[in-house]
């Protein structure tokens, strides 16, 4: 898997579709809009120390790029729903944490997560409360029992911590498989 080739392929697809949509609208992308697409900011600057909200001027170029991208995304979904190019681009941007991922999410793309992710999150959140309830419930019991409950709870929380890293690894592997599954046909034979 070649990171640079995948990113270049995904970027050229998304930027190309937005440029096509701009031409169809009758007004091609300006140089500033192309530059914005090629160098998206990774995040918006925020100053959390100030109590006064910071006013940010509207970015007409970003608004136009978003509108064109959304229109291109909707058009592609209607005219060619079986195309895997969008999923390929989204998986590449997600795996490599590229700022274009946020733009695709704004268009409506979502990362599919396994069903059990929610269950693991709920169990992780409830576990400390269950441990406290068990310790309080056994307050009249021996110290040995309370230490056992506390130690067991800490061990389970440590396992949940390890499961978090395992799920991150599994997500990375799933994204890599999605990239291979959705890779454009022209790049399958080349690398």
Do 134 and 50 lie in one domain? The reply is: no
Digit-coded pLDDT (tens) for 68-77: 989 998 998 8
Do 170 and 99 lie in one domain? The reply is: no
Reference 38, options 108, 100, 97; nearest CA is 100
The dihedral sign for the CA sequence 44, 48, 50, 53: positive
- Count of structural domains, the chain: 2
Q: Where a domain ends, among 96, 111, 126?
A: 111
Reference 90, options 80, 77, 75, 105; nearest CA is 105
More confident residue, 63 or 49: 63
Average pLDDT over residues 52-76: 82
> pTM for the whole thing?
0.68
pLDDT score for 18: 92
Classify residue 53 as exposed, middle or buried by CB count within 10 Å of its CB (0-12, 13-18, 19+): exposed
Q: Is 190 a residue whose pLDDT tops 60?
A: no
Q: Where a domain ends, among 95, 111, 127?
A: 111
Do 55 and 145 lie in one domain? The reply is: no
Digit-coded pLDDT (tens) for 89-101: 999 999 998 888 8
Do 124 and 93 lie in one domain? The reply is: no
Q: Where a domain ends, among 83, 111, 139?
A: 111
More confident residue, 68 or 62: 68
Digit-coded pLDDT (tens) for 116-168: 677 777 877 787 777 777 777 776 777 777 778 778 878 877 887 787 788 88
Do 77 and 129 lie in one domain? The reply is: no
Give the chain's end-to-end CA distance (angstroms, integer). 8
Domain span at residue 133 reads: 113-191
Do 86 and 179 lie in one domain? The reply is: no
The fraction of the chain above a pLDDT of 70, given in percent, is: 86
């Amino acid at each position: 898997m070649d990171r640079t080739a995948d990113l270049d392929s995904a970027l050229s697809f998304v930027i190309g579709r937005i440029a096509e949509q701009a031409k169809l609208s009758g007004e091609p992308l300006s140089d500033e809009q192309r530059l914005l697409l090629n160098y998206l900011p990774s995040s918006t600057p925020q100053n959390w120390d100030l109590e006064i909200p910071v006013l940010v001027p509207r970015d007409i170029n970003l608004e136009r790029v978003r509108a064109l991208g959304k229109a291109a995304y909707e058009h592609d979904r209607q005219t060619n729903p079986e195309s895997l190019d969008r999923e390929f681009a989204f998986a590449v941007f997600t795996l490599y944490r590229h700022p274009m991922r946020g733009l695709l999410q704004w268009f409506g793309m979502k990362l599919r997560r396994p069903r059990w992710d929610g269950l693991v999150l709920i169990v992780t959140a409830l576990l400390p409360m269950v441990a406290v309830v068990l310790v309080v419930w056994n307050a009249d019991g021996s110290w040995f029992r309370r230490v056992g409950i506390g130690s067991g709870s800490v061990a389970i929380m440590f396992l949940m911590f390890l499961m978090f890293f395992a799920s991150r690894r599994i997500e990375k592997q799933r994204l890599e498989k999605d990239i291979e599954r959705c890779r454009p046909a022209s790049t399958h034979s080349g690398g």
